[in-house]
């Protein structure tokens, strides 16, 4: 008879990184973060938690925290088929610990508002955020396009026309314009 292993929770170790990445990617997350950057993200997290159903990863979460005053929760995710069983709550509790002096912050989508409210989070007027100035999605897409799909002949011709015909023509027109307007 197969022995059913219970749900358990623990800190992520480097041997888990590949599986955690696969877990997050399968749920549609971190698609544009390469393996090396992902390991860096986890190495630089102050707290991590993996929820395991036997040996299967069914939840993951991480936090950046100074252990005194402030903590930031990120990437709290429970597998689709395991939601609503208290796994998310348990992971967040493990990440936050019990120090009442620490203020915890989360950025999240509307869909999970109720979940956070149930864990004591409230919307405030004091939180501001600065978005990334470079969208990793775009940069990586560009690199992928560059590496995988060489430009077609049509694109090459277009580029040639742009730089050999259109741009110089614009330049000449601009020069003529400024000459007659001076
Ligand atoms: C949000 C998420 C982590 C919750 O995990 P979970 O294991 O399903 O949550 P729990 O079972 O621990 O739920 C705790 C409480 O929140 C409630 N809850 C959880 N998700 C909810 C939702 N989407 N809408 C309304 N209530 C929700 C539960 O009903 C439960 O309430 P109870 O204490 O009254 O019974 C999970 O739905 C998920 O992975 N969502 C996609 C990723 C995401 O949005 N993450 C959060 C932003 S980083």
Domain segments of the chain as ranges: 7-134, 151-181
Of residues 148 and 36, more confidence is placed in 36
Nearest-CA residue for ligand 1 atom 37 is 83
Mean pLDDT of the chain: 88
**C-alpha dihedral, 46 to 113 to 30 to 58, nearest 10°:** 80
Is residue 88 lining ligand 1, measured as CB closer than 6 Å? yes
pLDDT value, residue 146: 59
Q: Which of 112, 113, 119, 129 to mutate to test the pocket of ligand 1 (most atoms within 8 A of CB)?
A: 112
Task: Say which residues have a Cβ less than 8 Å from residue 105's Cβ, sequence separation at least 6.
Answer: 70, 71, 72, 73, 127
| Ligand 1 atom nearest to CA at 91 | 12
Which CATH number fits the domain 7-134, given the four candidates 3.40.630.30, 3.40.50.300, 3.90.1720.10, 2.40.33.20?
3.40.630.30
Nearest-CA residue for ligand 1 atom 5 is 88
Mean pLDDT of 114-130: 95
> What predicted TM-score, i.e. pTM, was given to this entire model?
0.79
Is residue 113 lining ligand 1, measured as CB closer than 6 Å? no
The tens digit of pLDDT for each residue in 104-120 reads: 999 999 999 999 999 99
């Amino acid at each position: 008879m197969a022995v059913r292993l219970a749900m358990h929770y623990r800190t992520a170790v480097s041997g888990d990184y590949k599986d955690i990445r696969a877990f997050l990617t399968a749920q549609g997350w971190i698609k544009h973060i390469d393996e090396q950057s992902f390991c860096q993200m986890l190495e630089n997290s102050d707290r991590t938690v993996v929820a395991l159903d036997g040996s299967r990863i069914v939840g993951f979460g991480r936090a950046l925290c100074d252990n005194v005053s402030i903590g930031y929760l990120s990437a709290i995710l429970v597998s689709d088929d395991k939601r609503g069983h208290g796994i998310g709550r348990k992971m967040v509790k493990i990440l936050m610990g019990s120090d009442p002096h620490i203020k915890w912050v989360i950025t999240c989508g509307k869909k999970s508002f109720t979940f956070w409210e149930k864990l004591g989070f409230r919307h405030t007027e004091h939180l501001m955020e600065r978005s990334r100035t470079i969208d990793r999605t775009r940069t990586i897409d560009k690199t992928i396009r560059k590496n995988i799909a060489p430009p077609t002949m049509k694109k090459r011709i277009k580029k040639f026309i742009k730089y050999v015909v259109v741009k110089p023509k614009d330049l000449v027109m601009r020069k003529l314009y400024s000459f007659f307007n001076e």
